[in-house]
Each structure stands twice: as C-alpha cells, then as structure tokens.
Structure 1
Amino acid sequence: MLIVSLVLAALAALIHVVIFALESLMWTSARARRIFGTSLDEARATQQLAFNQGFYNLFLAIVTAAGIAFVLAGPLPVGAALLFAGAGSMAAAALVLFLSAPDKRGAALKQGVLPLLSVLALAIAL
C-alpha cells in the first residue's frame, strides 16, 4: 500500500504543477481561459489572484514530492508527515472547492481524488 500511496501522491503532485502553470504562468492564454471558463477581461482582472493561487498549488506539490523523496530515502516518519501535509492539504482544498462551488465539482474531483486516495493508502500502510 505504501507504493500505491507514493504513486498516487506523485500523480497528484504532477496535477498540481500543471494547475500552477495554468494559473501562474498561462492564466490569460486561450487554453487556460478555456479550461477555467473565463473571458480575457475576467482573466486580466483576476490575474494577480490566480498567480498567487497557482503558487499555493506549486508549494503543495513540492511538499508532497519531498514526502515521496523522504519515504524513498529511508526516514519514513518524516516522509509520511510531509505526505500527510501535502496530499492532505490538496484533498482538503478540493473539498472546500467541492462544497463551496457546485459548478466546479468536476474540477474539485480532478484535483482531490488522487491525493485523498494517497492519504488513505498511506494510513493503511502505516
């Protein structure tokens, strides 16, 4: 179950790096606007907020990747703590989105299911 948790966490981290790129680097691009359903004017008006939010996603991915690295390097308690913090925060943020924005539930599931499953698999493994 530990390997399952690490694979799921790695996939979740990758998704969050992509979200970072879309929000922080590509927010006003046609692709990002299509994905997030915003007009060019809306994207320009919210660009600073999206830039900041994207970095939250990147930092969650970094914490999760660090947890994976620590688990693989040997200090399991350190790695597990980082995985619980990183992937657990991803899942919690997705839950907030799911509950607060019914029209964005699909996005919440896309960004929250893998980290939730990773956390559950890690809990079982430990």
Structure 2
Amino acid sequence: MTTEPAELEPQDELGVLLVYLAEQGYAEQVGSWVSDSVTNVPLTGAQLLAALPDEALSEVAAELGLPVEEYAEQLAQELPSLVDGLTPQGELPTDDDFEDFLWEFLIDDTEAPKS
C-alpha cells in the first residue's frame, strides 16, 4: 500500500528550506534572517546552488525561462528580506498571515523601480 506524501503549506515549505540551508552550513545566514536583533547575513546564488539539490532550482528557473544561475542569484537577493519580513517574532507565521505577507512582498517588489 502506497500513500501520497502530504501536501505542504507554503510556510511549511519555507521552513523546510530554512532548516535544510542551516543543515548545509548556512545556519548563520538563516539565523540572521529570522532574528530581529542582527543584520541579515547575505547568501550568494553560488552558495544556494551548492547547498540545494540541482532539481530544486532548475525546475523553477526553467518555468521562468531563466538560466539556473540567474534564478539562484535573484533568489539569494530576495530570500533574506522575505524571511526577515515573515518572521518579526522569530517564527514563521500562520497560513493567513503568510499569504497576506507574501502578496504584499510580491506587490512591493513588482512596483519597485528596477535599477
């Protein structure tokens, strides 16, 4: 008897990603994004590529029509501020709070002037 894996909520997927990055040696970076008492420590696209399995970034990059390296750089630039904004009390938000923040983050990001 086989069962399908349970579908994760987006905030759970983010939590899994953060734990995975911490386990891959980026605990300082992840911790800084979650904490409100320290400045966000950056992560590079190359570090994301090294830490994550190949298919983790290549599928989304292909869907967006981007080279995986470019997508990894963009994600590395956005991830710290996304996590920082989602975790003002040091923990991931509830379903509704997560969805509200994500929409606000995406709207603010698309309205920001590109340099």
Q: TM-score, normalised by structure 1?
A: 0.33
Q: TM-score, normalised by structure 2?
A: 0.35
Question: Which protein has the bigger helix share?
Answer: 1
